[in-house]
Structure 1
Amino acid sequence: MGDLAVGAWSGHGGPEEQPERPDKAASPAAEDAVNYGSAAGHGGTGGSADSGSDFPEGEGPGQGADTSDDEAGHKPRKKQRSFWKELPILVGIALVLALLIKTFLVQAFSIPSDSMQNTLQQGDRVLVDKLTPWFGSEPERGEVVVFHDPDNWLAGEPTPDPNPVQRVLSWIGLMPSAEEKDLIKRVIGVAGDTIECKNTGPLKVNGKALNEESYVYEGNTPCSVDDQGGQFKVKVPKGKIWVMGDHRQNSLDSRYHQSDANKGFVPVDNVVGRAIVVAWPPTRWSTLPVPDTFDQDLSAAAPGALGLAGAVPLVLWRRRRLLTDGNPRVSGGGTAG
């Protein structure tokens, strides 16, 4: 059927075969035959200038394959790429995304000790928000934060030796890095705060007691009298924070490093981010909100403000007394000599 369609257009038919009028549409069967041959890459026997075809050069049935395909709605099929060829590309994209997420958004950390019980248990995996510090956010009281070792706090601690697979997973943020020396504690004081604890507590921030029953390990006291770090009173300098573990009698935190280069404080620049959720194991899934005790107004009053507040009543009282006594120095308009 396709050959008949080509022959009719090429002008090689017998006397009884009359060429169709140019304006007459080809039959569906003929059109399909031409399209099929064109899509398959076969030009047919006619349609060339040398054969005496009525088609202009380059526009025969075999030459107009693209136009016929568009008109008939038949398009050549694109060969699909093999899954195994696409797999490395997908893996590469996933690794790049994971690395970006680890660097700028969220990173997973493992809890290696019991210093944050019962808030965190050994073996828990927490997700740490690394995004907000990029926008200038600094740690706040009550937050659980991960930070780089300020001054050899982890000296003497064993360093794990991960296998190649674990190294790759830690590089993309799916496992904690064995090379990074990081700790996790709760922020108790920020710059300007005065932190103190006497006897067995309570722990005070700027003179206001904290009710720590909701997060301090059961059976522990806010501070203790049995060790050198149990009694303290410190003022947090600018750019630093004071941190403590929730398991107070089992946490080598700021209290026990007051003789180091930072006097026990942690530089804000060392903070990796805030731990926001316990992600593993599933039975331990929970968020890590700021305890209610930190909702009270714990701000330290500025000394200047306190001085002004105390001076105003005194000045008013003195002025009233002078006016009452008729002191001429108050009523005069001259300058002080």
Structure 2
Amino acid sequence: MGEADESRLGAAGPVGSAEGVPEDPVEPAAETAGEGERSTRGKTGGPAKKKGSGLLETLMYTLGGVVVALLVHTFLLQSFYIPSESMQNTLLVNDYVVVNKLAYKLGPVERGDIVVFKGWDGEDTIKRVIGVGGDHVKCCDAKQRITVNGTPLDEEGKYLYPGAKPSDREFDVKVPKGRLWLMGDHRNNSADSRFYTDDGHQGTISEDDVTGRAFLRYWPLNRISFLSRPGTFSVVR
């Protein structure tokens, strides 16, 4: 297996505002807030507003924008940039994604989701969910495919990095309730659950450590796309 590359997710900032071997940390992108329009007086309009009043109005609009941005950043959406190659070719270095922080307040984490979470070293990290609580994940069957609950995953040509094996490391794990087994799409260049099977949790991550689901790649412009859940996992029971 290739040498691990460390990847920290970069936060892009409030809402607008995630990765490798060993991990895939992402970092948030920079925060902006809109500025309110200034009031002006037309030729036939009423009396001009006082200068101080216009300034106060602008400050109030700006403050309101900041508050809204902070609320959205805290409770709803957050942007991250991708600093490493562990999720290629789904996510490339310097791609930007938007994460829905409410996704798992409203429903369960599902196999195939791309999630940002606090990784094994405590940093923001991005990977794909392969197994959820109760799943039996194993590598590999006679055809070198990863299986989930005995069902082989058809990953090639879907999201697995071209030419990469599903895994060069063997594993056989029953995912504990409330935890997740996560892997990068570029299996030769991703330190994921496979690397931490001796950590006391068999390499799994708690659902409580998940920030949210990455659902949109919005930069660069020529790569704008929704990050949908692949049908590969629909046959798993």
Give the TM-score of the pair, scaled to structure 1.
0.53
Q: Larger Rg: 1 or 2?
A: 1
In structure 1, stretches of 5+ residues that fail to align are 1-75, 155-180, 225-229, 300-337
- Give 2:49's match in structure 1, choosing from 80, 94, 111: 80
2:125 is the alignment partner of 1:188:
no
What amino acid is aligned across from residue 155 of structure 2 in structure 1? E
| Structure 1: distance between partners of 2:178 and 2:149 | 18
**Structure 2 residue matching 1:217: 3-state secondary structure:** coil
**2:181 aligned residue:** 242
Of Structure 1 and Structure 2, the greater helix share is in 1
Contact kept, 8 Å, 2:140 with 2:147, in 1: the verdict is no
- Give 2:210's match in structure 1, choosing from 265, 271, 275: 271
What amino acid is aligned across from residue 163 of structure 2 in structure 1? G
- Give 1:212's match in structure 2, choosing from 140, 155, 159: 155
Q: CA deviation at 1:105?
A: 1.1
Q: 1:231 to 1:87 in 2, by over 3 A?
A: same
**2:77 aligned residue:** 106
2:140 is the alignment partner of 1:198:
yes
1:169-225 CA distance string (max 9 Å, x none):
xxxxxxxxxxxx20000000001110011277211111111110210001101012x
In structure 2, stretches of 5+ residues that fail to align are 1-44
**1:28 aligned residue:** none
Q: CA deviation at 1:87?
A: 2.3
Q: CA deviation at 1:78?
A: 5.7
Q: CA deviation at 1:85?
A: 3.7
Contact kept, 8 Å, 2:117 with 2:211, in 1: the verdict is yes
Give the TM-score of the pair, scaled to structure 2.
0.75
- Give 1:125's match in structure 2, choosing from 73, 93, 96: 96
2:236 is the alignment partner of 1:289:
no
Residues 46-57 of structure 1 aligned to structure 2 (within 5 Å): none
| Structure 2: distance between partners of 1:81 and 1:280 | 43
Contact kept, 8 Å, 1:142 with 1:294, in 2: the verdict is yes
Q: 1:111 to 1:81 in 2, by over 3 A?
A: farther
Q: CA deviation at 1:147?
A: 0.3
1:5-56 CA distance string (max 9 Å, x none):
xxxxxxxxxxxxxxxxxxxxxxxxxxxxxxxxxxxxxxxxxxxxxxxxxxxx
| Structure 1: distance between partners of 2:47 and 2:105 | 45
| Structure 2: distance between partners of 1:128 and 1:78 | 48
| Structure 2: distance between partners of 1:203 and 1:132 | 27
| Structure 2: distance between partners of 1:253 and 1:201 | 18
Q: CA deviation at 1:110?
A: 1.2
Residues 1-337 of structure 1 aligned to structure 2 (within 5 Å): 77=46, 79-80=48-49, 82=51, 83-135=54-106, 137-149=107-119, 151-152=120-121, 181-198=123-140, 201-213=144-156, 214-224=158-168, 230-296=169-235, 298-299=236-237
Q: CA deviation at 1:285?
A: 0.7
Which structure is richer in relative contact order (CA contacts within 8 A, separation 6 or more)? 2
**Structure 1 residue matching 2:92: 3-state secondary structure:** coil
1:283-332 CA distance string (max 9 Å, x none):
11111001111121x12xxxxxxxxxxxxxxxxxxxxxxxxxxxxxxxxx
Contact kept, 8 Å, 1:138 with 1:268, in 2: the verdict is no
Q: 1:77 to 1:140 in 2, by over 3 A?
A: same
Q: CA deviation at 1:79?
A: 4.3
Number of aligned positions between the proteins: 189
Q: CA deviation at 1:77?
A: 4.3
**Structure 2 residue matching 1:192: 3-state secondary structure:** coil
1:232-258 CA distance string (max 9 Å, x none):
111100010100000001000000011
Contact kept, 8 Å, 1:111 with 1:122, in 2: the verdict is yes
